Amino acid sequence: MVGALACSDADDGAGDRDPLAVRGERVYLNVCVACHHGDPAEVGSVGPAIAGSSRELLEAKVVRGEYPPGYTPKRETAAMPPQAYLADQIDALEAYLAEAAETDATP
Ligand code: HEC
Protein backbone atom coordinates (compact mmCIF):
# COMPACT_ATOMS: atom_id res chain seq x y z
CA MET A 1 0.00 0.00 0.00
CA VAL A 2 2.80 2.39 0.80
CA GLY A 3 3.98 2.15 -2.79
CA ALA A 4 0.72 3.68 -3.98
CA LEU A 5 2.05 7.07 -2.95
CA ALA A 6 4.78 6.93 -5.57
CA CYS A 7 4.53 9.76 -8.05
CA SER A 8 3.29 8.39 -11.35
CA ASP A 9 4.86 11.11 -13.50
CA ALA A 10 8.21 11.23 -11.75
CA ASP A 11 9.88 9.99 -14.92
CA ASP A 12 9.56 13.29 -16.73
CA GLY A 13 11.26 15.21 -13.94
CA ALA A 14 8.42 17.70 -13.85
CA GLY A 15 7.52 17.26 -10.18
CA ASP A 16 4.27 19.05 -9.40
CA ARG A 17 4.63 21.62 -12.15
CA ASP A 18 1.77 22.50 -14.45
CA PRO A 19 2.05 20.05 -17.39
CA LEU A 20 1.12 22.86 -19.74
CA ALA A 21 4.08 24.92 -18.52
CA VAL A 22 6.37 21.90 -18.92
CA ARG A 23 5.25 21.57 -22.54
CA GLY A 24 5.76 25.28 -23.06
CA GLU A 25 9.25 25.02 -21.66
CA ARG A 26 10.09 22.33 -24.21
CA VAL A 27 8.91 24.55 -27.04
CA TYR A 28 10.80 27.49 -25.57
CA LEU A 29 14.03 25.51 -25.25
CA ASN A 30 13.66 24.12 -28.77
CA VAL A 31 12.73 27.26 -30.60
CA CYS A 32 12.92 30.50 -28.65
CA VAL A 33 16.34 30.13 -27.01
CA ALA A 34 17.93 30.57 -30.42
CA CYS A 35 17.43 34.28 -29.73
CA HIS A 36 15.91 34.68 -26.27
CA HIS A 37 17.75 33.88 -23.02
CA GLY A 38 17.56 30.39 -21.49
CA ASP A 39 15.95 32.19 -18.55
CA PRO A 40 13.04 34.06 -20.14
CA ALA A 41 13.34 36.74 -17.47
CA GLU A 42 16.71 37.82 -18.86
CA VAL A 43 17.71 39.54 -22.07
CA GLY A 44 18.87 37.04 -24.69
CA SER A 45 21.56 37.15 -27.36
CA VAL A 46 19.11 38.64 -29.83
CA GLY A 47 15.66 38.94 -28.25
CA PRO A 48 14.43 40.80 -25.16
CA ALA A 49 13.24 39.27 -21.85
CA ILE A 50 9.75 37.85 -22.34
CA ALA A 51 8.84 36.23 -19.00
CA GLY A 52 5.23 37.00 -18.11
CA SER A 53 4.18 37.76 -21.69
CA SER A 54 0.40 37.76 -22.09
CA ARG A 55 -1.39 35.25 -24.25
CA GLU A 56 -2.53 38.11 -26.46
CA LEU A 57 1.05 39.28 -27.01
CA LEU A 58 2.35 35.77 -27.67
CA GLU A 59 -0.41 35.01 -30.14
CA ALA A 60 0.17 38.25 -32.05
CA LYS A 61 3.97 38.18 -32.05
CA VAL A 62 4.71 34.47 -32.43
CA VAL A 63 1.92 33.51 -34.81
CA ARG A 64 1.52 36.68 -36.87
CA GLY A 65 4.64 38.77 -36.23
CA GLU A 66 2.47 41.60 -34.88
CA TYR A 67 1.67 43.25 -31.56
CA PRO A 68 -1.70 43.55 -29.84
CA PRO A 69 -3.44 46.91 -30.41
CA GLY A 70 -2.03 49.57 -28.09
CA TYR A 71 0.93 47.43 -26.97
CA THR A 72 4.30 49.19 -26.80
CA PRO A 73 6.97 46.72 -28.04
CA LYS A 74 10.17 46.33 -26.05
CA ARG A 75 12.13 46.77 -29.28
CA GLU A 76 11.44 48.69 -32.44
CA THR A 77 13.12 46.08 -34.64
CA ALA A 78 11.23 43.36 -36.50
CA ALA A 79 13.94 40.71 -36.41
CA MET A 80 11.81 37.88 -35.09
CA PRO A 81 10.20 35.77 -37.80
CA PRO A 82 6.56 34.79 -37.19
CA GLN A 83 6.15 31.08 -36.48
CA ALA A 84 2.58 30.26 -37.39
CA TYR A 85 3.09 26.53 -36.83
CA LEU A 86 3.26 27.26 -33.10
CA ALA A 87 -0.35 28.50 -32.99
CA ASP A 88 -1.44 25.49 -30.91
CA GLN A 89 1.45 25.95 -28.45
CA ILE A 90 0.57 29.49 -27.38
CA ASP A 91 -1.28 28.37 -24.24
CA ALA A 92 1.71 26.25 -23.26
CA LEU A 93 4.17 29.08 -23.91
CA GLU A 94 2.04 31.46 -21.88
CA ALA A 95 1.91 29.00 -18.97
CA TYR A 96 5.68 28.55 -19.05
CA LEU A 97 6.46 32.26 -19.34
CA ALA A 98 4.06 33.02 -16.47
CA GLU A 99 5.85 30.43 -14.36
CA ALA A 100 9.22 31.93 -15.33
CA ALA A 101 8.01 35.37 -14.23
CA GLU A 102 6.94 34.01 -10.83
CA THR A 103 10.21 32.20 -10.31
CA ASP A 104 12.03 35.43 -11.09
CA ALA A 105 10.10 37.24 -8.36
CA THR A 106 11.76 35.06 -5.72
CA PRO A 107 15.09 36.61 -4.65
C1 HEC B 1 15.31 34.63 -34.77
C2 HEC B 1 15.36 35.07 -33.38
C3 HEC B 1 14.12 34.88 -32.53
C4 HEC B 1 13.42 33.71 -32.26
C5 HEC B 1 13.72 32.31 -32.76
C6 HEC B 1 12.37 34.08 -31.36
N7 HEC B 1 12.39 35.41 -31.10
FE8 HEC B 1 11.05 36.47 -30.00
N9 HEC B 1 11.98 38.18 -30.47
C10 HEC B 1 13.16 38.29 -31.18
C11 HEC B 1 13.53 39.70 -31.32
C12 HEC B 1 14.78 40.23 -32.00
C13 HEC B 1 12.52 40.43 -30.68
C14 HEC B 1 12.40 41.96 -30.58
C15 HEC B 1 11.40 42.46 -31.62
C16 HEC B 1 11.82 42.11 -33.02
O17 HEC B 1 12.90 42.55 -33.47
O18 HEC B 1 11.08 41.34 -33.68
C19 HEC B 1 11.56 39.45 -30.16
C20 HEC B 1 10.41 39.79 -29.47
C21 HEC B 1 9.56 38.87 -28.88
C22 HEC B 1 8.39 39.21 -28.12
C23 HEC B 1 7.86 40.61 -27.84
C24 HEC B 1 8.49 41.14 -26.56
C25 HEC B 1 7.88 42.48 -26.19
O26 HEC B 1 7.25 42.55 -25.11
O27 HEC B 1 8.01 43.44 -26.96
C28 HEC B 1 7.84 38.04 -27.69
C29 HEC B 1 6.60 37.88 -26.84
C30 HEC B 1 8.65 36.98 -28.21
N31 HEC B 1 9.70 37.51 -28.93
C32 HEC B 1 8.41 35.65 -27.99
C33 HEC B 1 9.10 34.62 -28.61
C34 HEC B 1 8.78 33.23 -28.44
C35 HEC B 1 7.72 32.69 -27.50
C36 HEC B 1 9.62 32.54 -29.25
C37 HEC B 1 9.67 31.03 -29.47
C38 HEC B 1 8.45 30.45 -29.95
C39 HEC B 1 10.47 33.49 -29.92
N40 HEC B 1 10.14 34.75 -29.50
C41 HEC B 1 11.46 33.17 -30.84
C42 HEC B 1 13.88 37.25 -31.72
C43 HEC B 1 13.46 35.94 -31.78
Is 76 a domain residue?
no
Q: Which atom of ligand 1 is nearest to the CA of 77?
A: 17
Is 9 a domain residue?
no
Is 101 a domain residue?
yes
Judge if the beta carbon of residue 61 lies within 6 A of ligand 1. yes
92 CA to middle of ligand 1, Å? 16
Identify which of 25, 83, 26, 92 has the alpha carbon closest to the alpha carbon of residue 55. 92
Is 2 a domain residue?
no
* Tens-binned pLDDT, residue by residue, of the chain (107 aa): 554 555 444 455 556 899 999 999 999 999 999 999 999 999 999 999 999 999 999 999 999 999 999 999 999 999 999 999 999 999 999 999 999 999 755 55
Domain with 88, as residue range(s), is 17-70+81-105
* pTM given for the model: 0.88
Judge if the beta carbon of residue 80 lies within 6 A of ligand 1. yes
Is 4 a domain residue?
no
Is 62 a domain residue?
yes
Judge if the beta carbon of residue 95 lies within 6 A of ligand 1. no
- The full length of the chain comes to 107
- How many domains is the chain partitioned into structurally? 1
pLDDT tens, position by position, 59-70: 999 999 999 999
